[in-house]
């Protein structure tokens, strides 16, 4: 074969594969069998290996993955990727509609259209195309900057590597344009992924959104390709387009370019039509092959959008309407009790398995026995189950009319279900506790799992089954013993081999470099969360200082009250704690704070910050370090002394309290600007 012949066949194969990909993944109407498609792709890969000079960035062969990304570069969005205001209320939706109506009428515009779309529960991304070829993809991040995840996005079949040309799209093909959309995982692919992870004894993803987010940050694009993500496009921006082209017309252009735009977008000329769309899709959401958590309502006319403008955080021309939490009725078969790492006894409802919001629920926490009494729950009852935020299942009420005569009241246990020790209930607390800290196997296991958890020492592959096995084999008694494990002994255990044993030991070795505040958190001291651990690390720069701290000195620490101070002081007096600290010190774990490199910033110095919600482009400890380096303080609770509350997505009660107290609330982008 000559070079010219090879080039001609490669171009023909690419065209065929692009067309078949579009038919299969976007139109859901394949025209050839999978085996024939595989043969076309194998032939293309074979030719490109023989003639690498003909490989181009839009080749379908690049979708199979293979690139390893050690870190994701930061990119700046050309247009800010804003988040939408959310509402769960029909009344707030009507108020939004009236605000738009009033603002446009002030400009002499009496009629306008809204476009209603499904709100896919996934991860927002931005795609850049140059001369019709996909050149860069990024996460939303904080709206101003995001992570460059181009190699991972290339593996997603519904993202065209080269767009389709038509008379309508020709103007876009010379120059640059941007497509925004949502990457998500279909329900069947999510269930398959979790089944594989369960078989490998890996932690399960809570929902498809978490699975999609975790997948996009994988370092190995081959792993991303295996997980079969999907993208739906919902926005097109280009200097080649003028503002007379409406949003719905831009969606049609995206469709012609070869993007998946979904099938549910609807133009509404009245609030009634918007409400009808919401009622229809809330009732149909469980029938969809993917998760949605609501709908997005947008003004259709781009010129009208420009008139309405935007706030610092959200556009004034769009709103996200969140559907109510999904509920189902099921039977309560019994109640079991779990014992946590600090001895907390938590009742758990054992339910008749039921499908709810895309997963089968057979257990739900009952929190404590006061909650059981408040709800008057009895074994044999029919209960109403709800997925809070469509993630965490909880029982919200009993169906009294369906209570059988045989329903049995639930009595609190008197002894620990794990070790048989008599339980205690401290004054002014609702929980029961097992006081056998050192002898209770559930508490020992819980403390080690907490030590190895992601926000603590982040020891990969040290999950529930592994810790259980190490305890059973008497290889460890506490977290300090992890650093004495030997490869030869591990390799002899079931589930282990040479490679898996080495992987665990490598992860344990890496944990020695974690910051001092994370070590304090990892110790599992009752009432000490991440924010309190940071405050302790600030005041007591070494483990020796912290061990020697008086009760009064602890009480004077920011974010530490009398109860927490007493808990910390008592913890460091225990012989078991002293033994653990000795083991960690001998192992070479970092036992003191590093000298923080100071950055002069008068706007931050001596100011107190509280973080709430999920930050898109920063880990919480990274953001806290930025504050500390500038002479600021980080607290875990909002008070009148708080200067700034930084609110990420899904911010909760801390944001509400900040608003009530009049505390300045910052978006993530505003926080970054303040740090400069």
Cite the active site residues. Answer: 119
Which residues are CB-contacts of 488 (< 8 A; sequence separation ≥ 6)? none
Alpha-carbon gap, residue 354 to 361, rounded angstroms: 5
Q: DSSP letters along 562-608, please?
A: HHHHHHHHHHTTSHHHHHHHHHHHHHT---BPPPPPP---TTTTT-E
What are the two backbone dihedrals, phi and then psi, of residue 146, each rounded to the nearest 5 degrees? Answer: -145, 180
Q: Which two tokens stand for residue 384?
A: 């109403």
The answer to whether 281 touches 53, Cβ cutoff 8 Å, is no
Q: Which two tokens stand for residue 568?
A: 């910390």
Q: DSSP letters along 240-295, please?
A: TS-TTS-HHHHHHHHHHHT----S--EEESSHHHHHHHHHHHHHHGGGSSS-EEEE
Alpha-carbon gap, residue 550 to 459, rounded angstroms: 32
Residue corresponding to tokens 């992924």: 193
| Count of CB atoms situated within 10 Å of the CB of 597 | 6
Query: What does DSSP assign to residue 438?
Result: T
For the chain, counts of helices (H) and of strands (E): 24, 23
* C-alpha closest to that of 38 among 13, 67, 10, 12: 13
Sign of CA dihedral 575, 579, 580, 581: positive
Give the Cα-Cα-Cα angle 155, 160, 162 (nearest 5 degrees).
Answer: 120
β-strands 608-612, 644-647 pairing: parallel
Question: Most distant CA pair in the chain: distance in Å?
Answer: 86
Q: How many residues does the chain have?
A: 676
Alpha-carbon gap, residue 100 to 539, rounded angstroms: 51
Query: What does DSSP assign to residue 70?
Result: S
* Helix, strand, coil percentages for the chain (3-state, nearest 5): 40, 20, 40
266-to-19, 114, 248, 262, 278 alpha-carbon distances in Å: 27, 8, 8, 11, 11
Dihedral angle, C-alpha 48, 50, 54, 56, nearest 10 °: 30
* C-alpha closest to that of 327 among 288, 383, 401, 400: 383
Chain centre distance of CA 534: 23
| Count of CB atoms situated within 10 Å of the CB of 538 | 18
Helix (H, G, I), strand (E, B) or coil at 313: coil
Alpha-carbon gap, residue 293 to 282, rounded angstroms: 9
Alpha-carbon gap, residue 666 to 674, rounded angstroms: 9
β-strands 644-647, 664-666 pairing: parallel
Dihedral angle, C-alpha 596, 597, 600, 604, nearest 10 °: -30
Q: Which two tokens stand for residue 56?
A: 């181009």
């Amino acid at each position: 074969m000559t070079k010219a012949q090879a080039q001609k066949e490669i171009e023909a194969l690419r065209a065929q594969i692009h067309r078949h990909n579009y038919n299969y993944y976007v139109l859901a109407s394949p025209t050839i069998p999978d085996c024939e498609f595989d043969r076309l792709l194998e032939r293309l890969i074979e030719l490109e290996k023989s003639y690498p000079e003909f490989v181009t960035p839009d080749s379908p062969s690049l979708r199979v993955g293979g690139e390893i990304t050690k870190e994701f570069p930061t990119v700046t969005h050309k247009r800010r990727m804003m988040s939408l205001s959310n509402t769960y209320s029909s009344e707030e939706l009507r108020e939004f509609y009236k605000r738009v109506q009033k603002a446009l009428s002030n400009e002499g515009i009496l009629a306008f259209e809204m476009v209603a779309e499904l709100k896919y529960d996934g991860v927002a991304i931005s795609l850049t195309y140059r001369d019709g070829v996909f050149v860069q993809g990024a996460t939303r991040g904080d709206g101003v900057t995001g992570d460059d995840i181009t190699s991972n996005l290339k593996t997603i079949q519904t993202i065209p590597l080269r767009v389709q040309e038509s008379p309508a799209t020709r103007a876009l093909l010379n120059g640059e344009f941007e497509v925004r959309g949502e990457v998500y995982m279909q329900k069947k692919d999510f269930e398959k992924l979790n089944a594989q992870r369960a078989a490998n004894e890996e932690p399960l993803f809570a929902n498809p959104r978490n699975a999609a987010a975790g997948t996009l940050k994988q370092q190995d694009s081959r792993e991303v390709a295996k997980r079969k993500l999907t993208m739906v496009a919902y926005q097109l921006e280009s200097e080649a387009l003028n503002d007379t082209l409406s949003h719905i017309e831009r969606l049609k252009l995206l469709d012609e370019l070869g993007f998946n735009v979904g099938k549910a977008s609807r133009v509404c000329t009245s609030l009634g039509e918007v409400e009808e769309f919401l009622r229809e899709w809330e009732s149909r959401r469980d029938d969809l092959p993917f998760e949605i958590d609501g709908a997005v309502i947008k003004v259709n006319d781009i010129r009208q959008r420009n008139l309405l403008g935007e706030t610092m955080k959200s556009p004034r021309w769009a709103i996200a309407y969140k559907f109510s939490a999904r509920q189902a009725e099921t039977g309560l078969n019994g109640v079991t009790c779990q014992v946590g790492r600090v001895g907390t006894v938590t009742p758990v409802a054992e339910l008749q398995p039921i499908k709810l919001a895309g997963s089968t629920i057979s257990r739900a926490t009952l929190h404590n026995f006061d909650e059981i009494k408040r709800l008057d729950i009895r074994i044999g009852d029919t209960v109403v189950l709800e997925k809070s935020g469509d993630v965490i299942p909880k029982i919200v009420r009993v169906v009294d009319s369906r209570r059988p005569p045989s329903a049995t009241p639930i009595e609190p246990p008197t002894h620990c279900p794990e070790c048989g020790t008599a339980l205690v209930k401290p004054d002014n607390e609702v929980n029961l506790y097992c006081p056998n800290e050192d002898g209770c196997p559930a508490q020992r296991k819980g403390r080690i799992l907490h030590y190895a958890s992601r926000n603590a020492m982040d020891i990969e592959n040290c999950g529930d089954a592994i810790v259980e096995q190490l305890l059973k084999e008497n290889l460890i008694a506490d977290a300090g013993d992890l650093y004495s494990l030997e490869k030869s002994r591990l390799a002899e255990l079931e589930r282990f081999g040479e490679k898996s044993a080495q992987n665990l030991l490598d992860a344990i070795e890496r944990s020695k470099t974690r910051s001092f505040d994370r070590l304090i958190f990892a110790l599992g001291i009752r009432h000490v969360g991440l924010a309190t651990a940071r405050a302790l690390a600030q005041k007591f720069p070494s483990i020796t200082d912290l061990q020697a701290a008086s009760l009064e000195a602890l009480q004077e620490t920011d974010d530490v009250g009398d109860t927490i101070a007493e808990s910390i002081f008592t913890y460091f007096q225990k012989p078991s704690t002293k033994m653990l600290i000795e083991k960690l010190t001998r192992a070479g774990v970092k036992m003191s704070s590093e000298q923080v490199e100071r950055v002069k910033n008068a706007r931050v110095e001596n100011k107190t910050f509280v973080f709430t919600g999920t930050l898109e482009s920063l880990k919480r400890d990274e953001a806290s370090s930025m504050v500390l380096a500038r002479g600021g303080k980080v607290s875990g609770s909002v008070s009148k002394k708080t200067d700034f509350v930084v609110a990420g997505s899904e911010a909760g009660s801390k944001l509400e309290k900040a608003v009530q107290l009049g505390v300045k609330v910052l978006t993530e982008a505003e926080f970054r600007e303040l740090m400069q």
